[in-house]
Every structure is written in C-alpha cells, then in structure tokens.
Structure 1
C-alpha cells in the first residue's frame, strides 16, 4: 500500500514539475500559477518525506 502511495506521489510531483517548466517556457508566464504549482509540489515533497 505504501509503495503504491509513494509511486502516486512521485508521479504527481513529476507532473507538477513538467507543468511548472511548461509555464515558465511560455512567452508570458503566469507568475501566480507558477507560485501555486510550486507550493503544491513542495507539499507533495513533504508528504513523500513522511512516507
């Protein structure tokens, strides 16, 4: 169960990282969206540290 949960968190973390990169590479990146995605990514990273 924990392994499946960890895998799901890692996949979500990678997805957020990809979204952040894509947004930053746009001609006019949305700073508010980037900040929000980074906060979500940090929360996932903290949760991964507890698993």
Structure 2
C-alpha cells in the first residue's frame, strides 16, 4: 500500500469517526465512555496522519 493510499484511508476513517461522534453527541442516550473512546481514536488518527505527512515530506 502506498503512503498516499494509506493516508487517504486514514483520512476517510477520521471523517467517519467525526460523523459517528456527531451522531453520538446528538443522541439522548449517548454513552459518555463510548464518546470518549471515539474522540480518542479520532485524535490518534489525526496524529498518525500528521506524522505520515511530515515523514513523507522529509523523504
């Protein structure tokens, strides 16, 4: 898998998590622990995307 396709997949998953977080936030029965886990995963993806972009521009 190329770096570009890997980045595209990570960005797609990041966007999907954003939508999932929005839906959970607007739900009256939102599970706080699940929401925290989703936000943590979204942040991890964002960090990984940023790291790969930096590494890709250095090499």
TM-score (norm 2): 0.82
Tell me the distance in 2 between the aligned counterparts of 1:34 and 1:13. Answer: 14
Displacement, 1:39? 0.4
* 5+ residue gaps, structure 2: 53-59
Provide the residue aligned with 1:42 in structure 2. Answer: 43
* 5+ residue gaps, structure 1: none
Displacement, 1:27? 1.5
User: Greater CA radius of gyration, 1 or 2?
Assistant: 2
Provide the residue aligned with 1:11 in structure 2. Answer: 12
1:22 aligns to 2:27 (yes or no):
no
Q: Structure 1 stretches (4+) deviating beyond 3 angstroms?
A: none
